[in-house]
Amino acid sequence: MIHKMDKISELLAGTYDDPDGLGPQSVTTRRLVMEKSLAGMTLDLVKSLGFEHRIAVVSDETTYKVLGKRIVDELKGAFAVDIIVLPAAPHPDDVTVTAVQGATSGADALIAVGSGTINDLCKFASANDGKPYAVFATAPSMNGYTSVNAAITVHNHKKSLAAQAPAGAFFDLTILAAAPARLIRSGLGDSLCRSTSQADWLLAHRLLDQPYRQLPYALLEDDEKQLFDNASELMAGDLQVMEKLVRTLVLSGFGTAIVGNSQPASQGEHLISHFIDMLADHNRPLIYHGEQIGVTTLSMARLQRHMLDGTPRLAADTVSLDDFISRYGEELGKSCWSDFSEKLLDSAAVDQLNHKLEQNWDGMREDISAISHTVEYLEQVLLAAGAPTKPGEIGLQRPFYNLALQHCREIRNRYTFLDFAANVHRLEALVPAI
């Protein structure tokens, strides 16, 4: 379904013209195929990657039934296949990574059959062991298929860790359209945050002179509106709209891979979500990542609108390591402080930044507004898909959600509108409204 001059094929060929003027851009993924059906194509697809003889096919109990058995059956005979089936709903944490590395120690390459967790576990484990991997998707649930980062929890601190992109990524659109509706909504929710992530990153660029690229967003501009405007058709099983969702997820992952980190697609909305994952009641019903991101994206969009309407004047951060230890305990507190302290603003920095704001705020506000979707539009996209829009719909009481909004900026070194609002002494007051 991919046309010869398509952006995906140009990236694979190394001929995509960088809008930032950095010359032709490429990705390390060598093969990407999305078709109505990939049945009977597994052997040819894997052979095209040049993997050596012994392959570990990693799935969980659910994804093995959906696609893993078919992958194994089509590879047997041509390859020596190690079958690793994890328990249903495995955790993407350091313990499970160690288990995957042990189970795949004899293999030359890994094939992930699944979506977010299985893909992250395989990309991180394979990178640790210096082995290539490929992925066969079972749900269009997140944008990490083609990224070079993995969301792994280490000692209860959820982190985005360096991993590797897949050598091949393969998408059977019929299988993806048959995925549970919540997983499809999850992929839509994970795509929704483009505008809030871009606004946060652009703020950090304009205010703090952090590096910034147009490329990740140029990659998405042909598909995003067609996806968002047809959310109800997506949920009705329209394969053309499903292809738009998969393209959006794939291109978002490629954007982060080229930049080298998750900044283009993971900012304040993901900090809120990570805080929830780390500290919410573990007995809460299962909520998929993108379902949560849809809700937190609406909160970030509201916060950004409030902050863009004001005339900011910054004040220095006053929190300390002792505050973090008191809030999170010693181990997690020190881990979070290690990240947060790198972006902490002292009095000298604040004086310089306030001068910059006095000179440039109107232009900054105009540029950020120009790339942002309205809260109303983003909410309508979610509603059209039947996706959650409120904290209560993802199993969270409002007091805990407010706590996440107020403190999630403390878990990572990434300056967002959450930090901006805190440094203007407006975050605590705005939390109930976002």
**pLDDT < 50 positions in the chain:** 2-4
Rounded CA-CA distance 190/157 in Å is 21
| pTM of the entire predicted model | 0.93
- pLDDT for res 5: 54
Rounded CA-CA distance 228/265 in Å is 17
Residue at token pair 């995925």 = 179
Residue at token pair 């893909």 = 119
- pLDDT for res 374: 98
Give the residue from 149, 96, 148 showing the smallest Cα distance to 118: 96
Strand partners, 58: 84, 112
Beta strands 149-154 and 157-162 are antiparallel
Distances (CA, A) of 400 to 80, 210, 277, 297, 392: 49, 32, 12, 17, 11
* Joined tokens for residue 375: 């809260």
Burial (CB count within 10 angstroms: exposed 0-12, middle 13-18, buried 19+), residue 56: buried
Rounded CA-CA distance 319/141 in Å is 36
- pLDDT tens column, 284-304: 999 999 999 999 999 999 999
* Joined tokens for residue 154: 């280490």
Burial (CB count within 10 angstroms: exposed 0-12, middle 13-18, buried 19+), residue 77: exposed
